[in-house]
Structure 1
Amino acid sequence: MEFIDLSKLKPGDKVAILSPSSDAASYFPWVLDRAIDRLKGSFNLIPVEYPSTRKKKPSPKERAEDLMRAFSDKEIKAIFTTIGGSDQVRILPYLDKEVIKNNPKLFMGYSDNTNLSQFLWNIGIPSYYGGALMVQFAMQGSKILQQTEESLRWALFDGGVHAIKRSDEFTDIELEWSDKSNLDKTRSFEKNDGWYWDGTGTVSGKLWGGCIESLLQYLSAGNEVLIPEGKNIVLFLETAENIPEPWVIETIFNSLGVLGILERTVAVLVGRPKAWEFNKRLSSRARIAYREKQRNTIIGLVREYNSSIPIIQNMDFGHTDPQIIVPFGNKAMIDSASKTIKFTY
């Protein structure tokens, strides 16, 4: 299974701003406005919005039509998503594989955008997991977090092979979008424990995975997953803001096992689970316990299929910040002896 090499962006390039999942931008336009300002000012890109970008409750077909317009437009060099959601799987039947395959573009998004990244993977187009406009670009106080911006620049402009670093501190506590003054506030951060590393070996493979809840939805809808023969997958997974119970984790690993994906996996990377949400305001102690329980659950499930492959957890991708952008479909290299991880952007 061959993947194309996507062209990197240049200052002054036009980029599509789309909402293929949630319509949150229609209710909190000032948050998207902040992100647009940073795309222009910090990255020197020209944002292009579409009819459904800020529309309340656009249909799946409307969202898919705008996505197809963006892919078909030769002037558009990349596609940025405003936010995730919960029903992106509904737009997939309206997409034209051949048009997208013949007009590949850099695609940026995470969470529910797992569905589109899986769609692109199946036709040999890599994507970039992370960087929601209304979160990583907008809701970080006076500027985008340094580690996040560095990773964004690797994905968008620089390319190359880069060593992934552990953040010194992180946050999974949000600020209300409804209060416009929160755009200028910095969220509370706490010390990062670093990576939890289990297993041995020096391995490499293509990055495949995404948000567990969205991946379950993708699979339950009967969508195919094309995995090349051989042991060559670096599986990356993370959970969304709904703070799922262990059975959800068990379900995805059981499914991946039955599909034969775990047999072809050479390493597992796990993003730090978000353990706080407005409707689940867990205490510090409860959040620590939740993360530990998830780590232990994942180790137990993976070890049923492989007793020694590297499992690295508490990584800086997914629904906590700062955020490492994961080059979905590109190469990852893991060295257990030196405890280093490198991604090819």
Structure 2
Amino acid sequence: MTRTNGLVRPPALGRGARLAVVSPASTPKRELVERGLAELQALGYEVVLAPHALENGPLYYAGGLQDRVKDLHTAFADRKIDGIVCTRGGWGSAELLPHLDAELIRANPKAFIGYSDHTSIHSWLQNEANLTSFYAPMVAADFARDEGVDLKSWRHTFDGDSGWLLGAADGLRVLQPGAADGELRGGCISILAAGLGTQYAPVLRDCVLFLEDIGTKPYQWDRLLLHLRYAGRLEGVRGIVFGDMNQCVEPEEQEMLERAILHGLRGFEGPVAIGLRCGHVSAPNITLPLGVPVRLDLTDAVNPQIHFPEAAVRA
């Protein structure tokens, strides 16, 4: 197994790779899943829908707890499956964490792809299974949308490219200049904050932190950042990248949100960017490999960059 900065890299996902489609959280709409599956097949992937991926379980869950755990374990254990992609987020992934088999997953490293509620699984995979994972488009949420997926970053990531960049064309803007190197971590800030005080709290040492969310107002961003700071989770952070805030506030509130973020980060000396179109976006969704080394260079306001010097997957 090949490692990147301490974490295991899963195999690449080239044309013909077989993807298991799972729903660790909420039940997706069947028609959106079918549309997303067709798009993945058009891109050259084989797709296998997990038994409970469309199930209407208790409350809003895609099956019961053990059903969702079984689907995920089966996808990791099946040698014919090359990668795992989620249908949607919602709520429910955190329920799985005490029941996940780290030994099984470490023995079968594969790309786990999803965002939003699956932030908790990403943190668990990094901390417990020592595995790189991917904050990236989902079947019903993105592949089902017209131009819902940023194929350039998807291909750079899963083809195993190194030396690629994200920048101003991807929405990146400078809030606080500077440069930093570190391992990329993070995800949905409300899910990260919910893990504080538990054994599943995010580990954020020597990292560049990516944060995004949906429906989160300026005062809530301020509060969540204060929560992370009081919990000591920003002490090992070298730089921060915030996502596209168009799903959080209206354009006229953007300035207030940025001021709230900088207020919440007062005293933080590293570089800070905002606007990256990853996660909850209405534009093509960018793929971010988590657990890989990156360089965040915000020394030039016109040309901000996130540089990925190493491949996130192995050939």
- Fold shared, TM-score > 0.5 on shorter chain: yes
Q: Deviations over 1:31-87 (max 9, x none)?
A: 111111111111x11111111111112112210111011111111110000011122
Where structure 2 has 5 or more consecutive residues not aligned to the other structure, the ranges are 58-62
Match of 2:274 among 313, 319, 323: 313
Deviations 1:251-309 (A, max 9, x none): 43223223332121111100012437xxxxxxxxx7013332221111111123x2x31
Matched, 1:81 2:44: no
- Aligned partner of residue 164 in structure 1, secondary structure: strand
Residue 74 of structure 2 is aligned to residue 66 of structure 1? no
Query: Contact conserved, 2:196 with 2:231, CA < 8 A, in 1?
Result: no
Tell me the alpha carbon deviations over residues 124-170 of structure 1, each in whole angstroms, 9 at most, x when there is no partner.
21111021111221111xx555xx011111222233121103348xx
CA contact (8 A) 1:275 1:291 kept: no
Quote the residue 2:106 is aligned against: 101
Runs (4+) off by over 6 Å:
none
Map of 1:118 onto structure 2: 123
Shift of 1:2: 1.5
For 1:165 and 1:340, the matched residues in 2 are separated by: 5
Q: Take 2:199 and 2:180, find their aligned partners in 1: how far apart are those partners?
A: 31
Q: Secondary structure at the match of 1:136?
A: helix
- Structure 1 unaligned blocks of 5 or more: 169-193, 277-285
Q: Provide Cα deviations, 1:206-234, integer angstroms capped at 9, x if missing partner.
A: 11111012222333555243344xxx210
Q: Of residues 142, 149, 152 in structure 2, which corresponds to 1:136?
A: 142
Q: For the structure 1 residues 39 and 275, does the alpha-carbon distance in structure 2 shift closer, same or farther, using more than 3 Å as the test? A: closer
Matched, 1:127 2:133: yes
TM-score by length of 2: 0.87
Alignment match, 2:292:
330
The aligned counterpart of 2:12 is: 8
Does the CA-based 8 Å contact 2:148-2:284 persist in structure 1? no
Q: Which amino acid aligns with 2:125?
A: L
Count residues with an aligned counterpart: 296
| 1:1-345 → structure 2 map (5 Å cutoff) | 2-24=6-28, 28-42=29-43, 44-57=44-57, 58-122=63-127, 123-140=129-146, 145=149, 148-167=150-169, 194-219=171-196, 221-228=198-205, 232-240=206-214, 243-275=215-247, 287-304=250-267, 306=268, 308-320=269-281, 321-338=283-300, 339-343=304-308, 344=310, 345=312
* Distance (whole Å) between structure 1 residues aligned to residue 262 and residue 122 of structure 2: 26
Offset at 1:332? 1.6
CA–CA distance in structure 2, aligned partners of residues 226 and 268 of structure 1: 15
Question: Are the aligned partners of 1:89 and 1:217 in contact in 2 as well (CA < 8 Å)?
Answer: no
Partner Cα distance (2:86, 2:223) in 1: 28
Given that 1:272 and 1:291 are in contact with CA atoms closer than 8 Å, whether structure 2 keeps it comes out as no
